[in-house]
Amino acid sequence: MVFRFFFIKKNAAYPPSPFLDYQERGLAHFEAASSHKIHRSKFITLSISVVGLSLAWWLNHSSASFTPAQELPPSINLTKAKPEPVQTSATPIASAASIASAPHTTILSQPKPIVVSAIPEIKQALNVESPIKDRWLELTIRSGDSLSKLFSQHKLNRKDLHKILQLKQHRKVFRSLRLGQKIQILHTADGHIQQLKLHSGPVHCLVIKASNENGKFIGTIEELALETRQKTASGQIQSSFFGSARKAGLSSAQVLALMKIFSWDIDFALDIRSGDRFNVVFEELHHQGKKVKTGAILAAEFINNGQVFRALRYQAADGSSTYYTPAGNSLQKAFIRTPVKVGRVTSHFNPNRRHPVLNRIRAHKGVDYGAPVGTPIYAAGNGRVKFIGRKGGYGNAIILQHAQKYTTLYGHMNAFAKGMKSGQRVKQGQLIGYVGKTGLASGPHLHYEFRVNGVHKNPLTVKLPKSLPMDKGFVKDFQQQTQAVLAQLNALGSVALNTASALSVE
């Protein structure tokens, strides 16, 4: 292949040579150079042309591409002219034949920028966002805490808090946070709330979830998934039944429930003796392995002054529950023995008692229960309000009519229960008023009378009529339902008896 070399004269009307810059640095003109320098220049020019043609062929036929981590090399520019902007397409490099035949053309022309199309993988990598993982935050309410304070401490979204507090039906829950109350918050890494759980009670949880509609929140009350476990408790009364029962592991609510179960047979204000024993089988509710609430009493035994009383809980198909003896007899009587749950007998039934205020012999035809002012008073049995108002020395009093031949009187009351009026129907155990000291009373107490056909009877010893026995159709189901807990109760009783015997021997 033959290459012709042409050199541009200094004053020629051709485009400036790319080597003009070298002339300004003191390089001699190629025409004035020595023969050695001319041959050297021809060799250099020929070498550059061959390299350029090889590069052009390689770019057109090679599948090589740039990796995202590489940068494009700067354009070769031998002049001081400002580089041309990047074009959308590259001009093809001329073939060797066209270069050889083109007159007055420099072998090394101004190189065009190499254009490389955008690599999709790079763009895609730049647009991928790091996933924001949701996370649970578990908090316990401490002194001085509020939702606002907790949100600030943990950098949670304040706008979400404002929306949550706008839920009118749940505002009361947020305003009455309790020490030790648990809060669980599901949030994104940037603090937006996805879900909030607040335990609003032993077995209930307020659940607030973010809605996709305009960023709103929806709140619902859900029941916790509870596990029911059976527990037992046994004890012997030392100084007080309440204290001994609490020491044995019963809650305050369970102690009151136990008193109510046996209230038709035992007067817990009068009959309890040191050395009396009790055994209880009860339910305990757990959530995620933690105790959250005590459940119902399933079976109980109370040994009072040597007399054994037993109760088994039977739940009917409609969900109602009643306590029966192991033989299927209802423990509930037509009347409860004591109309106040807290108090002590300060004056017994006595026809020849000296009146503490009048200071003369005057029959005391009832029983006095000393208790603080405001102590609740309950109806002894189902009936109707025969009288309500002021009644001489009784002060504020209520008389209830039960069936045809029974009446009960409650005197010296401080106030009547709201809504109580003459002729009103009441149920056994219903609140009717509060202990006071109105009328002829030396101190706050309840004066309670029990009459049969108008004749005063001793409320502590009168034989109370029993309720109807269990329907025969339920006896078999009752026995099947209570068989297991009765066996537990028998086992507790045996252990208690053996323990008591061992202690007596020592």
Q: What is the mean pLDDT of each run of 10 residues along the chain (506 residues)?
A: 44 49 45 52 66 66 49 45 47 44 46 50 41 73 87 90 85 82 88 86 83 81 85 92 93 92 85 93 88 90 94 88 90 87 84 66 85 95 95 95 92 96 93 95 93 92 78 87 93 64 42
Residues 249 and 148 in one domain: no
**Half-sphere exposure in the Cβ direction for 347 (13 Å, CA):** 24
Residues with Cβ within 8 Å of 213's Cβ and at least 6 positions away in sequence, in order, are none
Residues 187 and 107 in one domain: no
Q: Give the domain-ending residue among 177, 198, 223.
A: 223
Which amino acid, one-letter code, is at 10? K
| Structural domain containing residue 279 | 227-329+476-505
Torsion of CA 13, 14, 16, 22, to 10 degrees: -90
189, part of any domain:
yes
184: number of Cβ within 10 Å = 15
CA 379 to chain centre: 39
How many separate domains does the chain show?
A: 4
Residues 219 and 237 in one domain: no
Taking alpha carbons only, the member of 488, 291, 347, 460 closest to residue 355 is 347
Residues 271 and 309 in one domain: yes
Q: Could you tell me the two tokens for 270?
A: 């009068």
What whole-number distance in Å separates Cα of residue 472 and Cα of residue 353?
48
Taking alpha carbons only, the member of 266, 328, 327, 274 closest to residue 302 is 266
CATH of the domain at 182: 3.10.450.350
What whole-number distance in Å separates Cα of residue 71 and Cα of residue 69?
7
Residues 8 and 98 in one domain: yes
Q: Using alpha carbons only, what angle is made at residue 8 by residues 6 and 14, rounded to the nearest 5 degrees? A: 115
336, part of any domain:
no
22, part of any domain:
yes
71, part of any domain:
no
CB 427 within 8 A of CB 334: no
CB 99 within 8 A of CB 49: yes
What whole-number distance in Å separates Cα of residue 348 and Cα of residue 340?
15
Taking alpha carbons only, the member of 197, 175, 178 closest to residue 186 is 197
Helix or strand (DSSP H, E) at 457: strand 455-457
Q: Could you tell me the two tokens for 74?
A: 């700067």
356, part of any domain:
yes
Residues 419 and 494 in one domain: no
Residues 255 and 325 in one domain: yes
pLDDT of residue 28: 44
Please tell me whether residue 313 adopts helix, strand or coil conformation: strand
Residues 170 and 259 in one domain: no
130, part of any domain:
no
469, part of any domain:
no
Q: Give the domain-ending residue among 223, 256, 276.
A: 223
Residues 207 and 237 in one domain: no
Residues 213 and 235 in one domain: no
Taking alpha carbons only, the member of 420, 374, 419, 373 closest to residue 399 is 420
307: number of Cβ within 10 Å = 11
- For the four alpha carbons of 276, 282, 285 and 288, in that order, the dihedral sign comes to positive
123, part of any domain:
no
Q: Using alpha carbons only, what angle is made at residue 350 by residues 344 and 356, rounded to the nearest 5 degrees? A: 70
Q: Give the domain-ending residue among 163, 195, 223.
A: 223
Residues 365 and 451 in one domain: yes
Residues 299 and 349 in one domain: no
